Structure 1
């Protein structure tokens, strides 16, 4: 939203432009030699007024937003230009891109009218009675100014997502559990992309895939039956969007983010462990090759720290595990070996947190940390049971370890929390069911659409 003038009285708060007025812009002339540049600062206002008039006349509108029992005629291009929510909806291959009428949920008609007025005019009437609803809706549709962004943290939470995985009877689950540990709440999140027929046939579509977050969007890739597939979850519109396929299909691999790009590393192609590394450019929606791993591995751990990518442990074959730490430098497009893990391990996961990389899983019964700055390893804490193929995510300055399988190959439902400040390991909650081989990532979500945890479903 635009800047607001805050008053202590009961008078309405009115959004203003940066100079506190609505006067037309000026024609600025800048001369340089034989060139003259004219900057008509009033043109933007003329365009805005013209778009508002077109909306009022219902001219050239191409979409109708349905909120409660009201309908709002709008221009797709205006909505997409002003809101990342609508940009994601209209600029990706979603059904809403072609629909004439779109049902909008999570906001009432009065607040929607105010946001549309603001989008087309830069003005909105704010009162103490409606300010919270307007800010919450602005957060939902991502219509936020730089000045307003800090305030939006009041309406957002850092949450961790538990994506898919396998249950005790080796059944695939498409559910995505999104938990807010601070508010003890659960968010409604779109399931993994899968058809009803696939669910009924117990299809293991999303098994042993990989996932990562970039700019608050979740990327998933590969899997036993989806070796080349890559999808992106847009939290603004709560939808999964398919993007460009991998060049080399794989599962039991890992993903990482480095330099604004997504990396897909190693894994298994159904025949052998592979050393292939691919990088994804979100702007151009394309994959390219990077230097291959020094050691072919699957079921390893991977994380990035500063400007380098680390691949830790893994299985060079079906029986053995390795302790090697492989480090990739994108500046030179080369891999090198660093200090090995204290133990050989596979079916593990890692996350970068503060100045360390934390590794958990496999048969280790422990949480280890690696310091990229000092190239040293340290035992952080020990567990009572193994947690093979568990997940790990940083959230609210703590580490959350989810699910996994114990030494009896039974799935685990508990969520552990490691607090680096107190150096304590505690049981945070119990999931509705045990799960392993799942994805675990962190992102920010608006808490205005959080559904409270159902008693008995997740105990805390």
Structure 2
């Protein structure tokens, strides 16, 4: 009878025992503990530890060279390891035979030195990992010095990261004042440094004053590391320019004078001597964050809320509330400060409103509202835009309840408002943007609520207006925003979005909005356009309030949703504010 196998005969069976290596190591450790087949004694501090040469040779290039070459130790039964304590040697031998060791603060440094000497690389890195877990602003500078002695790059990088991330705490320490000039320069030029530029300047001053006799000559080299472009002009010209150390350096004074000339020239372009300093980008820790402020909330009442959007968590955070409710104020930011300009302050009891010239400011650093220098004229339903160190306020409705043509400018360099040439055509709710020494006013509506089909262009340096009639413009209650010399006009009782190319003097059609939108707000963060809230016409031509939060990418000409606002909102401000974060961006 012939037997037919149910399955094919297994010709090859590759087998690997996953427990063999650990079992063998355990057996070798048992042999060592019982003194069986050990053939060498490792000695330290009059302590002898029996070991197997072959185990030591297999574990370390150091012992391989010692026992497999013509060194005298290759034939000796006792090997004295100088510079290694008995306690550390026991720990290393246990690690060799078991792969395990307990690291603590008392033994980590001698263990790390011994691991380096004996070429136990993974043990060395384990010690580095342990020390990295102990890092704090109080000890990170000491850890950097230690890492240099031990030649431990991983510890040095983590300690340096801690120092730049917690710069405020570290800079206040006595140890920081003992840094060498090259070390301090390295910190001040680090893009990851978590500090505002005012603090960078104050830190270098403190370092010099710690030893003024030998350090005052370094003021110019250090001063060049301060990114003056991102400092408020008041601070530059009232504090930095008047500092005795800065004044004592002709080179520092020349830099201050160049900045002053640049600002007075109303030009975004600087000379060759200032360009390397002025064009340095912001540090990675300075992030543009979206802030939404004011407006009409849930179609009920004017809102005092101010919200900040956290891109990482994709959540909204509540900031300090506006001091009072303002109807149709203007919103603008300059020098990382949010300005709420004018508006109509409503008296709930009487139902009447007072037209305001008041200016409120908010800094994320303090999260407190303050009053700033008021405008020359009270107004509401006006437009506001920033350019360089200026804020421009245009039109609106004054105390006489008439549409105004007046224009005024806030000069942050001198902290004053000044009247400028008036608008050629009085308009309400135009789209306004500033680019390349010009302010552009697109469309809007006249006193009879008819659309105005023209572009009004203000030449900042000449204080002159020009007009351009065009059938392309027909926007009311639409915001405008600038990306790469293109001014985007977003909606305005329409789904249409167009971009005006200021260099080519022509309009470009963009991807439409999803609904016919008006009374919304828009701003640019990281070269993307963010649109918040507003009102829209639904499919039945009924106006509804919106809580939508959308993003437009000009590279792909596509819209995407970013979720929603915490409530429905229109006639609000949407602005990019610089937020200092101790979690640096990647370059």
Q: TM-score, normalised by structure 2?
A: 0.52
1:10 aligns with 2:147: yes
Structure 1 contact 221–230 (Cα < 8 Å) conserved: yes
- Counterpart position of 1:445: 579
1:409 aligns with 2:546: no
5+ long unaligned stretches in structure 2: 1-140, 151-165, 184-191, 202-221, 228-279, 346-354
Structure 1 contact 139–152 (Cα < 8 Å) conserved: no
- Counterpart position of 1:243: 372
Residues in 1 aligned to 2:423 and 2:143: alpha-carbon distance in whole angstroms: 57
How far residue 211 of structure 1 moved from its aligned partner, in angstroms, is 1.5
- Counterpart position of 2:172: 116
How far residue 401 of structure 1 moved from its aligned partner, in angstroms, is 0.8
Counterpart among 338, 342, 345 of residue 218 in structure 1:
338
Residues in 2 aligned to 1:300 and 1:5: alpha-carbon distance in whole angstroms: 59
Q: Deviations over 1:16-74 (max 9, x none)?
A: xxxxxxxxxxxxxxxxxxxxxxxxxxxxxxxxxxxxxxxxxxxxxxxxxxxxxxxxxxx
1:338 aligns with 2:394: no
5+ long unaligned stretches in structure 1: 14-109, 127-134, 195-204, 450-460
- Counterpart position of 1:276: 406
Structure 2 contact 453–469 (Cα < 8 Å) conserved: no
Instruction: Mark the CA change 1:213 to 1:228 in structure 2 (over 3 Å): closer, same or farther.
Output: same
Residues in 2 aligned to 1:382 and 1:288: alpha-carbon distance in whole angstroms: 39
- Counterpart position of 1:34: none
Counterpart among 511, 520, 523 of residue 393 in structure 1:
523
Instruction: Mark the CA change 1:287 to 1:112 in structure 2 (over 3 Å): closer, same or farther.
Output: closer
How far residue 119 of structure 1 moved from its aligned partner, in angstroms, is 11
Structure 1 contact 158–180 (Cα < 8 Å) conserved: no
Instruction: Mark the CA change 1:372 to 1:151 in structure 2 (over 3 Å): closer, same or farther.
Output: closer
How far residue 229 of structure 1 moved from its aligned partner, in angstroms, is 0.9
- Counterpart position of 1:429: 563
Matched residue of 1:378: which SS? strand
Residues in 1 aligned to 2:281 and 2:146: alpha-carbon distance in whole angstroms: 21
* More helix per residue: 2
Q: Deviations over 1:221-249 (max 9, x none)?
A: 01112521112222322222211111111
Matched residue of 1:348: which SS? coil
Larger Rg: 2
- Counterpart position of 2:507: 377
Residues in 1 aligned to 2:549 and 2:303: alpha-carbon distance in whole angstroms: 18
Residues in 2 aligned to 1:193 and 1:122: alpha-carbon distance in whole angstroms: 46
Q: Deviations over 1:347-402 (max 9, x none)?
A: 11111111101111320212111111222122212123122110111112211111
How far residue 266 of structure 1 moved from its aligned partner, in angstroms, is 0.8
* More strand per residue: 1
After the TM superposition, which residues 180-259 of structure 1 pair with which residues of structure 2 at under 5 Å, given as runs? 180-181=310-311, 184-194=314-324, 205-225=325-345, 227-259=356-388
Structure 1 contact 302–312 (Cα < 8 Å) conserved: yes
Residues in 2 aligned to 1:424 and 1:279: alpha-carbon distance in whole angstroms: 36
Structure 1 contact 243–285 (Cα < 8 Å) conserved: no
- Counterpart position of 1:94: none
Structure 2 contact 197–226 (Cα < 8 Å) conserved: no
Matched residue of 1:10: which SS? helix
Alignment: residue pair count: 336
Q: TM-score, normalised by structure 1?
A: 0.65
How far residue 260 of structure 1 moved from its aligned partner, in angstroms, is 2.0
After the TM superposition, which residues 121-160 of structure 1 pair with which residues of structure 2 at under 5 Å, given as runs? 121=177, 138-139=195-196, 142-143=199-200, 147=225, 153-160=283-290
Structure 1 contact 250–268 (Cα < 8 Å) conserved: yes
How far residue 166 of structure 1 moved from its aligned partner, in angstroms, is 0.6
1:263 aligns with 2:392: yes
